[in-house]
């Protein structure tokens, strides 16, 4: 099957699964894959197809259908000015709150800006007149496309309906051939979920609550920026579920919280024996690839999202999205929770043993000891690259601290300034754990005028002479260009930087000197020097030891 036909088949099928009953088509050549898929769906009685030769009239026909029915109606057209003629109806739908799904066919990127026939810039063509706009991208015959296409349609459907109905735009690029070629083969099944839409979005009605099916084999996953954390941690604890929280999810506390789930989920035998029946996620998960792999395989993945126009689903596995979720209490012997806890304790102990065997300062050891040793009520701001990942892998559950990170876009920008601002708002003991490049990228954050408030903030800088995270990625195998284009070593004297800003400075010489190095008040700098190659080897040792400990629990348990 050619990619254009596959994409159009899946898009139309998912629209029908979401509940689409009416589609309006203005014919054209580039939209042929969609037109053929819609005609087939109409003949099968899955939806009603309305065809109009004038795009402006077609769009207002769709507006009338949607306005009266209260259900999203799809508009489909070819590329070029055809799409522009939808604009008046899109504007009206935006202003009057009418749900429309606008699907504009487009030329592939290689034809744009070349003078190719019937090609204009259609990306975000309708500007602020749509609730959401997405460039679908040219379809490719590779695994993962079906989940992407179906989840994209489900998201568009959900946004068009809630919380404020309105138009949504999907720009769909097709390469030729545009008609079926007679070959039905594709690299993965094109089928959707037999129960309906790929992702069911719970409309934002007052008091609407999604009730999770009763089960002991559940997991609560808490990512960055989660809200109502205490409520859902308490509910998960009552239900006997393990809690897998990223550091900035601020749910890594209590008896049900795990600290080594990154390592547990890296053991295939453990994953096979511990398949959850339901996973509920809060916030934005994304630090651990094994955790994301678990979400990808989840039988039922419920995303709790306060804003139904945006929900985090990085692996496109969400089956339901809701603003409120009720986790039921289920009686049982607690074997599910104990099995997770036993493996987690074994892995965490193995990790600690490896870290404690090294007297020198190490990056994961520093992260572990810093999180464990902070006073109650303290704030810890972490850089979004290696420091937060180290915390995720080695931080033991504890109460009394708040962890923050700029994980929205996970950039290197402005981290010193963000830490200073967070510390000023916190008003108490504050600490930051940053890499050397992140610190150097925002040295201006240390510039405080004589009349400005000073934060009580200790900035701990991990100086590994460059981009440490790349030493843990496949790029590290590229010996010749690695240092120049990934490692980016520097020769900055951090003591001199502190002196230039008239700030206290200490060098952390050994792992056991951390508490002493952190003493003091006001804005101050603590430097911890590490070696990138030894750090990569240490992470490998941690993984080996933790995996072996987990496998031992599976053998003896």
What phi, psi does 403 have (nearest 5°)?
-110, 130
| CA–CA distance, 110 with 268 (Å, rounded to integer) | 42
404 three-class SS: strand
Task: Provide the H-helix boundaries in 245-356.
Answer: 261-264, 268-273, 289-296, 335-356
Q: Nearest 5°: CA angle at 300, between 298 and 301?
A: 75
* Topology (CATH) of 363-529: Rossmann fold (3.40.50)
- State how far the alpha carbon of 158 is from the alpha carbons of 124, 134, 154, 313, 493, in Å: 19, 14, 6, 14, 52
pLDDT number for residue 307: 86
512 three-class SS: helix
Each residue's pLDDT tens digit in the chain (557 positions)?
Answer: 999 999 999 999 999 999 999 999 999 999 999 999 999 999 999 999 999 999 999 999 999 999 999 999 999 999 999 999 999 999 999 999 999 999 999 999 999 999 999 999 999 999 999 999 999 999 999 999 999 999 999 999 999 997 889 999 999 999 999 999 988 999 999 999 777 999 999 865 655 789 998 888 999 999 999 999 999 999 999 999 999 999 999 999 999 999 999 999 999 999 999 999 999 999 999 999 999 999 999 999 999 998 888 899 999 999 999 999 999 988 778 999 999 999 999 999 999 999 999 989 999 999 999 999 999 999 999 999 899 999 999 999 999 999 999 999 899 999 999 999 999 999 899 999 999 999 999 999 999 989 999 999 999 999 998 765 666 667 767 677 776 667 678 889 999 999 999 999 999 999 999 999 999 999 999 999 999 889 999 999 999 999 999 999 999 86
pLDDT number for residue 306: 87
Q: What is the DSSP string of 332-381?
A: ---HHHHHHHHHHHHHHHHHHHHHHT--S--HHHHHHHHHHHSPTTEEEE
CA-based max dimension of the chain: 77
**Adjacent-strand bridge partners of 529:** 463
Burial class (CB in 10 A: 0-12, 13-18, 19+), 500: exposed
Same fold, 210-337 and 363-529: yes
pLDDT number for residue 481: 77
CATH code of the domain made up of 210-337: 3.40.50.1220
Question: Which positions ≥6 away from 195 have C-beta within 8 Å?
Answer: none
CA torsion, ordered 511, 362, 438, 384, to nearest 10 deg: -110
Count other Cβ atoms within 10 Å, centred on residue 95: 10
What phi, psi does 67 have (nearest 5°)?
-65, -40
| CA–CA distance, 251 with 258 (Å, rounded to integer) | 10
3-191 under CATH 1.20.210.10, yes or no: no
pLDDT number for residue 490: 86
pLDDT number for residue 229: 97
What's the token pair of residue 321? 């999205």
| CA–CA distance, 295 with 386 (Å, rounded to integer) | 22
For the chain, what are the domain ranges?
Answer: 3-191, 210-337, 363-529
């Amino acid at each position: 099957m050619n990619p254009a036909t596959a994409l159009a088949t899946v898009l139309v099928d998912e629209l029908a699964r979401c509940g689409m009953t009416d589609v309006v088509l203005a014919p054209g050549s580039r939209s042929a894959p969609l037109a053929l898929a819609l005609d087939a769906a109409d003949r099968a009685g899955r939806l009603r197809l309305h065809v109009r030769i004038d795009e402006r009239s077609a769009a207002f026909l769709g507006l009338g259908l949607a306005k009266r029915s209260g259900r999203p109606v799809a508009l489909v057209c070819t590329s070029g000015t055809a799409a522009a003629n939808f604009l008046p109806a899109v504007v009206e739908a935006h202003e009057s709150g009418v749900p429309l799904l606008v699907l504009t066919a487009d030329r592939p990127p290689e034809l744009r800006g070349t003078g190719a026939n019937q090609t204009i810039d259609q990306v975000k063509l309708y500007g602020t007149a749509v609730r959401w706009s997405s460039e679908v991208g040219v379809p490719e015959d590779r695994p993962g496309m079906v989940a992407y296409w179906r989840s994209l349609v489900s998201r568009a459907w959900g946004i068009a309906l809630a919380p404020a109905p309105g138009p949504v735009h999907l720009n769909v690029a097709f390469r030729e051939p545009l008609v079926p070629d007679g070959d039905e083969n594709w690299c993965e099944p094109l089928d959707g979920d037999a129960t309906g839409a790929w992702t069911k979005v719970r409309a934002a009605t007052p008091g609407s609550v999604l009730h999770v099916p009763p089960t002991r084999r559940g997991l609560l996953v808490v990512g960055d920026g989660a809200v109502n954390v205490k409520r859902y941690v308490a509910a998960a604890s009552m239900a006997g579920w393990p809690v897998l929280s990223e550091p900035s999810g601020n749910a890594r506390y209590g008896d049900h919280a795990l600290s080594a789930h990154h390592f547990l989920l890296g053991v295939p035998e453990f994953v096979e024996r511990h398949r959850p029946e339901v996973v509920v996620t809060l916030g934005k998960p994304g630090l651990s690839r094994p955790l994301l792999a678990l979400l990808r395989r989840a039988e039922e993945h419920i995303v709790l999202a306060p804003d139904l126009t945006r929900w985090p689903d990085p692996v496109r596995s969400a089956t339901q999205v809701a603003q409120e979720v009720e986790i039921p209490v289920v009686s049982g012997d607690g074997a599910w929770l104990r099995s997770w806890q036993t493996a987690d304790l074994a892995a965490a102990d193995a990790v600690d043993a490896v870290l404690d065997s090294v007297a020198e300062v190490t990056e994961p050891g520093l992260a572990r000891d810093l999180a464990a040793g902070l006073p109650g009520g303290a704030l810890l701001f972490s850089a979004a690259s290696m420091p937060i990942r180290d915390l995720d892998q080695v931080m033991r559950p504890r109460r009394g601290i708040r962890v923050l990170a700029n994980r929205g876009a996970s950039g290197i920008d402005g981290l010193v300034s963000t830490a200073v601002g967070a510390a000023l708002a916190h008003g108490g003991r504050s600490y930051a754990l940053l890499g050397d490049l992140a610190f150097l990228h925002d040295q201006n954050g240390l510039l405080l005028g004589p009349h400005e408030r000073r934060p009580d903030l200790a900035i701990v800088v991990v100086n590994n002479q460059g981009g440490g995270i790349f030493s843990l990625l496949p790029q590290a195998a590229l010996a010749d260009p690695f240092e120049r284009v990934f490692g980016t070593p520097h020769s900055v004297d951090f003591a001199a930087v502190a002196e230039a800003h008239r700030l206290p400075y200490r060098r952390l010489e050994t792992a056991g000197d951390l508490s002493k190095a952190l003493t003091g008040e006001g804005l101050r700098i603590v430097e911890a020097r590490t070696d990138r190659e030894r750090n990569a080897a240490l992470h490998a040792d941690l993984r080996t030891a933790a995996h072996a400990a987990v496998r031992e629990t599976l053998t003896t348990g």
